Amino acid sequence: MTFFNTVKSSTNQSLDILEGHRITVKREDLIHSVVSGNKFRKLKYNFEEYLLNDNPTVLSFGGAFSNHLAATAYAGKIGNVPTLGIVRGEEWENKVEQSSTLNFCQNQGMELRFVSRAVYREKEKGNLVKELRSKTRNLFILPEGGTNELAVKGCEEILTEADQEFDTICSCVGTGGTIAGLINSASSQQFVLGFNALNNPEVSNTILNFTQKENWRLESNYTFGGYAKVSAELIVFMNNFYQQYQIPLDPIYTGKMLFGIFDLIKRKKWSWGKNILVIHSGGLQGIRPMNLQLKKKRLPLLNYG
C-alpha cells in the first residue's frame, strides 16, 4: 500500500549533554506529514493484512484526542478502507467541532459512534460490537491504541542498526505495544525504560504478552495524574524545551517522558545508562485540542504546533 511506503526513516537529533548524560531524540514524529510517529508503525502491517481480505471495514476505539483514531481514519481514506470509530463520551456527539481530532476523523470519512463511558468500558465484550458485527460484513476490529501482534511487529522497525551504540532506550507507554516492539528489537546490551503516560495496572501484562525479554522497566512517577492530565509546570517545561531544541512535544505522551528524564537526571535519581536514545513517538495532532482545554482551565498554552 503506497501510504506506508511514504514513511521516511527517522533521524536522530542530539540535545546538550545533561550532567554527563548524552541525550539523543529519535524523531519518529517526522516520519509522515499527517500521521506522525508510532501510530503509523502500528497500522502498517495491520492495513497490509486488511487489504488481503475483500472489502473489510475497520472498527476501532478511542477518546476525543486519540492519535490512534486519527491515524486509522487517515490510513482508511488513503487505502480506500471504510473506517468506523467508537468514541468514548456521548457528550462529544454535539461538540465535534471542539475536537480537531474528531473533526479530522470525520473529514477522512470515518464514521463516528459516540458511547457512554460505561458502554465504552465494555466495548469489546458488550453488545455494541456484536450488533455492529451483525450489521457489517467483514468487520476488522483493531483494539484501542492499535496494539496487537502486527502493531508490535511494525514497532520493531523503529530501531536501526546504527542505534546499537546507545545503552538506554526511552519510550512512552500507553497500551504497551510500542515498547514491546522496542524491547524485541533492542540488543541484549541495551536497556529499555518506559514512561507510563497513564495509570494502567494491566500494561505490564500486555508487554509480557508480546515479548520474552527482561531488559526493561516501567517508570510510573510521571503520569501527571492520568491520561491527558497536565499541569502548568509540564506545559512550561514543554514550551522551554521547544525554545531550546526546536522539538515540539505532545502533551499526552512525549512531554511527560522528557519531563521525567530531565527530572530524574537533575535530581541524580537516574540509575540507567548515560548514552540515551529517546523515541519521539509523535502525537503532535493532539496539541490543538489540548490548547482548547488549557484555555478553558486558564492554564498556560502550548505556544507551538
Ligand X SMILES: *Cc1c(COP(=O)(O)O)cnc(C)c1O
**Binding site residues, ligand X, CB under 6 A:** 37-39, 67-68, 145, 147, 172-178, 250, 253-254, 281-283
CB of 156 to ligand X, least distance (A): 12
Determine the Cα–Cα distance for residues 187 and 191; give it in Å rounded to an integer: 8
Determine the Cα–Cα distance for residues 288 and 140; give it in Å rounded to an integer: 30
CB of 157 to ligand X, least distance (A): 14
- Comparing CA positions, the residue from 77, 48, 250, 65 lying closest to residue 145 is 65
CB of 254 to ligand X, least distance (A): 6
Determine the Cα–Cα distance for residues 305 and 291; give it in Å rounded to an integer: 10
Q: Which amino acid is at 18?
A: L
C-alpha angle with apex 211: 207 to 212, nearest 5 degrees? 125
Tell me whether residue 189 or residue 294 sits nearer to ligand X (CB atom).
Answer: 294
Q: Residue with CB nearest ligand X?
A: 283
Determine the Cα–Cα distance for residues 41 and 187; give it in Å rounded to an integer: 20
